[in-house]
Chains A and B, each alone.
Chain A
C-alpha cells in the first residue's frame, strides 16, 4: 500500500493546481494519473483564461456575465468566489513564467470572447491550455511533488454507511498500467478527483480519448450525487472530420460565420442580432445546425468560419495554432480559404456535486475541474471560463484537502430527506432490475463491506475487490468486446442526446444504454497480458461511460424546458417557476435515483434575477 497525506487523481490543470496548493499547505502530496501530466487534455484548450484584470472591468461584471451565460442555473456563491479569485490565479500563472501573449507595454493581452461584456480573456496565442498545463507541471517538478504517471485509478476506497453523508473516503485503488500491479493508495487527509471530462460518451467530440468520465463514475458509485449532467456543451466550431476544436478566439478576433449561400447567418436570420458570432456558445451551435437543417449548410453538414480578412500578421500572432490544425486535420489553408466547422460535444457543465471548497458529501473526498460541478457553469459555460475554473477550484480543493482553515461553505452537498424526487418510467440502471444479474466483474465500484473499518483495512478491502474484478475480466475467454459497446453508446448519444433533443430520441437513448449495459455484463478482455493492457483499461472506462451517459440522458428527459445548452423540441421556453433547480442523480445500489436541489441565486453583493438572455 502507498500512503500520502493528499492524493490527487488526475494530472491536468485542476489536479496539478490542487497538488501545488496542498503542497504549499505542508502536505505530503502525490498525483496519480492514467497519463503522464503533460499528456492531459488541458493542453488542448486553446482560447484563454477569463479574469477581471483591467480598469473598467470588475469581478462583479465577470460574475454577472457568468450567471447570465449559465442561464441562471449556477450557484451564486460559486460564481462570486470564482470571479473574485480568477485575477490572482492568472497573475500567479504569470509569476510562474507562463508565456502569455503581450501588449506593447509588456502586460498580458486580453481579447473579447462570447458572452463577455468586457474583453477579459487572457491568452497565450491559440494554445493557452498547452502553456498553462506545462507551466503548472513545471511548478510540480520544481517542488518535487511525487507523480505516479500511467497509474489508472479505478476505485475510491469509501466506507459503506447507508447515508452517503456519513461515509468516509480513505484513499483510492489504482493499477500500474506498465506492470499491472494493483495497489491501494491510502490518503491520510483527502483524495482530490481531478479526472477531467467525459466527452467520449459521444462520437463527435473535441475531447481526448482519455476523457471517459472516470472520476464522475467512481464518485457516483461511491455515493456522491452527479449534478446537472444533462448540461452538455456543444462547441460551435469543431472540424467536421475529426472533432478537433477551432478556438472561440477566432470569433473573438473577428472571425465570421457564413452559410452555403455566403450569408452571415447570425445576423441575416436573426439568431443573435446584437452580438452575432460572439453570442453565447449554445446560441451559435443551434444557429449553425438550423442552417444545415434548413438546407443552407455545406454538404448538408457544416458551415464556414472565415478569418482571412484578419490578415496574415494578426492570424500568425494570435491564432497561428489554428492554421496548423486546419491544415493538418482538414487540409485547409486558413489564410486562403474559410474553414469548415460544425458543432461538437465539448464540455460537461455537470459532474461530481461539490461545494465551493471542492468537498463532496463524503468526508475526505474532493473534486475539482471539469469532473466536478460547483456549480459554476450552470446550463452553459462561457468560453474562457474553464481554465480559470481549474486553477481557482483546483487550488481551493487542494488547500482544503490538506487541512487549511476555510470558512463555512454556503453550498450544501449530499442527498437529504425531503428532496423532490422523480421517476422517469423508462428502464434505467442494472438490466432487468435484477440485483443477481450484476456480476462483479462487469460492475465494480460500490463501497466495500469491510468487517475491519480502520482506514487501512477499507483501502485494502477495496483493492482486493478490484483485484478480483480484474481477474474475472481477464479470465473470461469469450464474450463481448468493449469497443463494440462503446461505439454503439457513442452513436446513440450523438443521434439522440445532441444539440437538439426530443422526447422520443431521449427515450430511445435510454433503451440503447440499457441494452449496452446488458451487453456489458458479458464483456471480456481479449488481451491477457498484465503489461500495458489498454484493452483492460478501455473496458473499465467503458463501464464508466455507461453511467455518465445514463445520467446525462435521464436528466435531459426529465427537464422539460429549454435552458442554456439544453434545448427540448416539445418545450421551447425557459420555465423559471419550475426549473431553477439542479438535477441530481444518486447511485442507490445501481438503481439511479433522480432528485432536485434549488439553485442558489443570492450572491455576496447581489441576488441574480433571471433575465432573458439577449445577444
Chain B
C-alpha cells in the first residue's frame, strides 16, 4: 500500500537530458522549468488548502503490463472533502492531482451513461450518484466483483453485453399500422407497466451483485431478464417474438435460477424492481406451460 501525496510528483531530471536544439525550444524549456518551480511552490502552498476536512480514498490498483503494478494493491489518496462531493469527484481529483494513470470509466456524471459502476465500501454503486457524505471513511473503491479486471477499476463488460444480446433486446411487432405517419397505440397503463424496466442503463451493478450469476456463468442475469420483461410486457410486441423470448428466459439458465435474494434490486441505481420482474416472468412461464398441457 502506498501513500500518494502531491510532493511525489515533482520533477527530478528535467534539466539533465535536454538536447536544446533551437533558441525557440530553449526558451520554451526555460519557461517550463520556471513553471515547474512555480507549480511546486503552489503545491507546497496547497498544503494549507488541506486545512479543511479531507477524506481518505483507498482505490484498488492493477495494471497487467506495468512492472510493479501487475500485483493487485490498494493506493491511498488524501482528497479535500467538499460539500456535494461524489465518489466520482474524489476519483477525478486523485487522478488529475496525484496520479494520471489511475484508470476508471466515466462520462455523463448524471447517472445515465452507466459507465461508472464500482464496488464502493462493499456495495455496487454508481460513482457519480454516490455522495461521499453518505459513506464511512476511508472510502474504499474497487472494481465490480465477479468480472475480470482490465486495469484498476475497469472491468471486462463483454460477458454482460453478451447476456443482454441473448435476451434478443429489440422490438419485433407482428404488423404496423397502415399509413406512413400512423403510430401504434399503447395504453397509458401498459406504458406505466413497462416504464421502470425501460430505465436500465446497462451499468452491470445487478449482475455483479448476484450470487447465482457469480456461480453460474450461463445465467442470463437480472439485466437481461429485465430487458426481456420490457419487451414481453409491451402490448405492441409481436406474439411470435414474445413466445421466442419466453422460451429463452425459461431455459435452464434463465428465470428459474433466480433465488429471490433481492441483491440486484437493492443495488440498482435506477430503482428497477428487478427481482419482481423476474418473478412475474416466472408466473408467465407457468401460465404458458399450463396452456400447452
**Which A residues fall within an 8 A CB radius of B?**
35-36, 38-41, 43-44, 53, 87-88, 91, 94-97, 99-108, 125, 127, 130-131, 134-135, 138-139, 141-142, 178, 208-210, 241-245, 324-325, 328-331, 432, 434, 436-437, 477-483, 487, 518-519, 521-522, 525-535
Q: Are B11's CB and A478's CB within 8 A?
A: yes
**Which B residues fall within an 8 A CB radius of A?**
11, 13-14, 22, 24-25, 28-29, 32, 35, 63-66, 69, 84, 95-96, 99-101, 103-115, 129, 131, 150-152, 154, 157, 161, 165, 169-173, 176, 180-188, 191, 194-195, 198-199, 201-202, 231, 234, 236-237
Q: Are B113's CB and A40's CB within 8 A?
A: yes
Q: Are A91's CB and B188's CB within 8 A?
A: no
A239 to B110, CA, bound (A): 11
A237 → chain B closest CB, angstroms: 14
A243 to B170, CA, bound (A): 33
Q: Are A43's CB and B150's CB within 8 A?
A: no
Q: Are B194's CB and A44's CB within 8 A?
A: no
Given A88-B180, A135-B171, A526-B101; 20 other pairs, CB 8 A cutoff = A38-B201, A43-B201, A44-B110, A97-B234, A99-B195, A102-B188, A103-B188, A108-B183, A125-B195, A130-B201, A134-B198, A209-B107, A243-B109, A330-B84, A437-B25, A483-B100, A522-B29, A528-B66, A531-B63, A533-B103
Q: Are B110's CB and A481's CB within 8 A?
A: no
Selected contact of B24 from candidates A87, A434, A526, CB within 8 Å:
A434
| List of A residues within 8 angstroms of B14 by Cβ | 478
Report which residue of B64, B96, B194 has the largest number of chain A beta carbons within 10 angstroms of its beta carbon. B96
With A127-B199, A130-B201, A535-B100 known as contacts, the answer to whether A529 contacts B63 (CB < 8 A) is yes
Q: Are B154's CB and A532's CB within 8 A?
A: yes
A108 → chain B closest CB, angstroms: 6
B43 → chain A closest CB, angstroms: 12
| List of A residues within 8 angstroms of B110 by Cβ | 44, 242, 244-245, 325, 329
Report which residue of A100, A139, A529 has the largest number of chain B beta carbons within 10 angstroms of its beta carbon. A529
Q: Are B96's CB and A483's CB within 8 A?
A: yes
Instruction: List 23 A-B residue pairs with CB atoms under 8 Å apart, sorted by A's residue number.
Output: A38-B201, A38-B202, A39-B107, A39-B113, A39-B115, A41-B108, A44-B113, A97-B231, A97-B236, A99-B194, A130-B199, A134-B198, A138-B170, A139-B170, A208-B113, A209-B108, A209-B109, A481-B100, A487-B96, A522-B32, A526-B99, A531-B64, A535-B100
Q: Are B185's CB and A107's CB within 8 A?
A: yes
Residue of B nearest to A206 (CB): B110
| List of A residues within 8 angstroms of B169 by Cβ | 138, 141
Q: Are A38's CB and B114's CB within 8 A?
A: yes
With A141-B169, A522-B28 known as contacts, the answer to whether A527 contacts B101 (CB < 8 A) is yes
Q: Are A477's CB and B186's CB within 8 A?
A: no
A437 to B173, CA, bound (A): 60
Residue of B nearest to A178 (CB): B150
| List of B residues within 8 angstroms of A99 by Cβ | 186, 191, 194-195, 198, 234
| List of A residues within 8 angstroms of B114 by Cβ | 38-39
A330 to B187, CA, bound (A): 34
A99 to B187, CA, bound (A): 11
| List of B residues within 8 angstroms of A519 by Cβ | 35
Q: Are B150's CB and A531's CB within 8 A?
A: yes
| List of B residues within 8 angstroms of A135 by Cβ | 171
Q: Are B22's CB and A436's CB within 8 A?
A: yes
| List of B residues within 8 angstroms of A208 by Cβ | 107-109, 113
| List of B residues within 8 angstroms of A533 by Cβ | 103
Q: Are A127's CB and B112's CB within 8 A?
A: yes
Q: Are B150's CB and A532's CB within 8 A?
A: yes
A224 → chain B closest CB, angstroms: 26
B64 → chain A closest CB, angstroms: 6
A244 to B88, CA, bound (A): 14
Q: Are A242's CB and B101's CB within 8 A?
A: no
By Cβ-Cβ distance, the 8 closest A-B pairs, closest first, are A97-B171, A106-B185, A527-B101, A142-B170, A138-B170, A483-B96, A208-B107, A94-B183
| List of A residues within 8 angstroms of B113 by Cβ | 35, 38-41, 43-44, 208
A141 to B188, CA, bound (A): 28
| List of B residues within 8 angstroms of A107 by Cβ | 183, 185
| List of A residues within 8 angstroms of B66 by Cβ | 528-529
| List of B residues within 8 angstroms of A88 by Cβ | 180-181
Q: Are A94's CB and B184's CB within 8 A?
A: yes
Report which residue of A35, A53, A102, A519 has the largest number of chain B beta carbons within 10 angstroms of its beta carbon. A102
A514 → chain B closest CB, angstroms: 13
| List of A residues within 8 angstroms of B171 by Cβ | 96-97, 135, 138
B38 → chain A closest CB, angstroms: 12
A409 to B198, CA, bound (A): 39
With A99-B194, A242-B110, A532-B151 known as contacts, the answer to whether A477 contacts B24 (CB < 8 A) is no
A281 → chain B closest CB, angstroms: 19
A40 to B131, CA, bound (A): 24
Q: Are A41's CB and B181's CB within 8 A?
A: no
With A483-B100, A521-B28, A535-B100 known as contacts, the answer to whether A131 contacts B198 (CB < 8 A) is yes
Q: Are A130's CB and B63's CB within 8 A?
A: no
| List of A residues within 8 angstroms of B69 by Cβ | 529
A95 to B11, CA, bound (A): 60
| List of A residues within 8 angstroms of B101 by Cβ | 526-527, 529, 535
Q: Are A242's CB and B109's CB within 8 A?
A: yes
Q: Are A480's CB and B32's CB within 8 A?
A: yes
Q: Are A104's CB and B188's CB within 8 A?
A: yes
A240 → chain B closest CB, angstroms: 10
A241 to B110, CA, bound (A): 12
A138 to B241, CA, bound (A): 14
A324 to B271, CA, bound (A): 11
Q: Are B191's CB and A102's CB within 8 A?
A: yes
Selected contact of A478 from candidates B13, B103, B170, B181, CB within 8 Å:
B13
A304 → chain B closest CB, angstroms: 18
A414 to B157, CA, bound (A): 42
A564 to B96, CA, bound (A): 36
Selected contact of A95 from candidates B84, B106, B173, CB within 8 Å:
B173
A177 → chain B closest CB, angstroms: 9
A87 to B96, CA, bound (A): 45
With A141-B165, A526-B101, A529-B151 known as contacts, the answer to whether A43 contacts B187 (CB < 8 A) is no
A104 to B186, CA, bound (A): 9
Residue of B nearest to A522 (CB): B32
A218 → chain B closest CB, angstroms: 19
| List of A residues within 8 angstroms of B191 by Cβ | 99-102
A130 → chain B closest CB, angstroms: 6
A450 to B116, CA, bound (A): 42
Residue of B nearest to A34 (CB): B107
Residue of A nearest to B188 (CB): A102
| List of B residues within 8 angstroms of A522 by Cβ | 28-29, 32
| List of B residues within 8 angstroms of A38 by Cβ | 113-114, 201-202
A374 → chain B closest CB, angstroms: 23
| List of A residues within 8 angstroms of B186 by Cβ | 99-100, 102, 106
Residue of A nearest to B31 (CB): A518
Residue of B nearest to A209 (CB): B107
Residue of B nearest to A480 (CB): B32
